[in-house]
């Protein structure tokens, strides 16, 4: 009988569990069709390029790991490829078809501030499929009765005694996490931005005019925060869609969050017709 320590499938399953628990990401590579490889053979490649499992050939394994790392950067969910598409030198596997699948935890959005925009953003993100945490220091703004819908019941509502502590707890390890800072004032913005930068989520955006957001960013720069990290903050937050109402502003914010996660350009799709 094969022990768990030597069973490749059980090792891969355990590694997938660890990836999800850590909020990290990996790529699962599976042989779908082949005349020379075992159909169903798998490897799991983490973000650092380390692989668990065996495809049955050392050269193919090396090429598949390299392709898996490119696949991570491409942000695709899943893609089937003939071996010759990514490793043309491996002619002996010309008829082999491999599936590359992205493994990561569900996308999470942490919304700091439950005013009109924050509440609308939390509701919209929940409908789209995000795991949402909505934080405010005013208990009446995060009361459960304000979020009665089926999808809204999945929104985690947090009363913040400390903006920094609540934000760090909600962000966790940061992978697949986006943070939208939509609080009511400079002090709250500063506290949230400090915590968010330290937690290193995938996306940080902050609402406000250029003047307001620059005041906050300049304050943190004076405190010694890394300039490159501050440059990554999307401020003012969201895409320019001419939004006016809270719901429209929420849509503009979520559009930018999705754009960053999926690697989109934010440009109109109709532009291809003019090129």
CATH code for the domain in which residue 243 is found: 3.40.50.720
Q: Is 117 part of any domain?
A: yes
Q: Are residues 57 and 40 in the same domain?
A: yes
Q: Is 267 part of any domain?
A: no
Last residue of a domain, one of 51, 81, 104: 104
Q: Are residues 192 and 253 in the same domain?
A: yes
Q: Is 2 part of any domain?
A: no
Q: Are residues 208 and 253 in the same domain?
A: yes
Structural domain including 212 reads 108-262
Using alpha carbons, select from 105, 137, 110, 75 the residue that is nearest to residue 201.
Answer: 110
Q: Are residues 34 and 167 in the same domain?
A: no
Q: Is 134 part of any domain?
A: yes
Model pLDDT, residue 196: 95
Model pLDDT, residue 24: 77
Q: Is 270 part of any domain?
A: no
* b (16+ CB within 10 A) / e for 90-128: beebeebbbebbbbbbebbbbbbbbbebbbbbbbbbbee
Q: Are residues 29 and 114 in the same domain?
A: no
Cβ atoms of residues 123 and 254 within 8 Å: no
Q: Are residues 146 and 244 in the same domain?
A: yes
Task: Tell me which of 140 and 73 has the higher pLDDT.
Answer: 140
What tens digit of pLDDT does each residue of 87-96 get? 999 999 999 9
Cβ atoms of residues 99 and 76 within 8 Å: no
Model pLDDT, residue 97: 97
How far CA 31 is from CA of 40, 104, 146, 200, 215, in Å, comes to: 5, 20, 49, 35, 54
Give the pLDDT band of residue 239 (cuts 50, 70, 90).
very high
Whether residue 200 is predicted with pLDDT greater than 60 in this model: the reply is yes
Q: Are residues 121 and 202 in the same domain?
A: yes
Q: Are residues 119 and 226 in the same domain?
A: yes
Q: Are residues 166 and 249 in the same domain?
A: yes
Task: Tell me which of 111 and 25 has the higher pLDDT.
Answer: 111
What tens digit of pLDDT does each residue of 29-40 get? 999 999 999 999
pTM of the model: 0.74
Looking at the structure of the chain, the number of domains it has is 2
Last residue of a domain, one of 64, 80, 104: 104
- Give the C-alpha separation, 158 to 17, whole Å: 27
Helices (H), the chain: 8-22, 58-74, 83-86, 116-128, 163-171, 186-199, 210-222, 227-231, 246-262
Q: Are residues 97 and 160 in the same domain?
A: no
Q: Are residues 127 and 202 in the same domain?
A: yes
Q: Is 1 part of any domain?
A: no
């Amino acid at each position: 009988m094969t022990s768990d320590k030597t069973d490749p499938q059980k090792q891969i399953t355990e590694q997938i569990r660890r990836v999800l628990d850590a909020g990290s990401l990996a790529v699962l590579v599976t042989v779908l069709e082949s005349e020379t490889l075992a159909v169903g053979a798998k490897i799991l490649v983490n973000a650092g390029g380390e692989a668990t499992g065996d495809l049955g050939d050392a050269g193919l394994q090396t090429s598949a790991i390299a392709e898996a790392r490119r696949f991570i950067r491409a942000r695709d969910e899943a893609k089937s490829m003939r071996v010759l598409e990514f490793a043309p030198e491996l002619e002996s596997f010309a008829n082999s078809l491999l599936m590359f699948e992205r493994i990561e935890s569900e996308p999470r959005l942490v919304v700091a501030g439950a005013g009109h925009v924050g509440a609308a953003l939390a509701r919209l993100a929940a409908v789209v499929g995000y795991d949402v945490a909505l934080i405010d220091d005013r208990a009446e703004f995060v009361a459960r009765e304000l979020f009665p819908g089926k999808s809204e019941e999945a929104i985690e509502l947090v009363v913040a005694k400390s903006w920094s502590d609540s934000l760090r707890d909600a962000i966790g390890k940061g992978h697949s996490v986006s943070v939208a800072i939509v609080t009511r004032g400079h002090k709250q913005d500063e506290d949230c931005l400090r915590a968010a930068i330290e937690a290193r989520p995938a996306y940080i955006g902050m609402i406000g005019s250029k003047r307001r957001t620059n005041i906050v960013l300049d304050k943190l720069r004076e405190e010694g925060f890394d300039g490159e990290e501050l440059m990554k903050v999307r401020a003012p937050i969201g895409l320019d869609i001419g939004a006016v109402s809270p719901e429209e502003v929420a849509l503009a914010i979520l559009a930018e969050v999705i754009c960053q996660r999926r690697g989109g350009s934010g440009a109109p799709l109709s532009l291809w017709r003019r090129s």
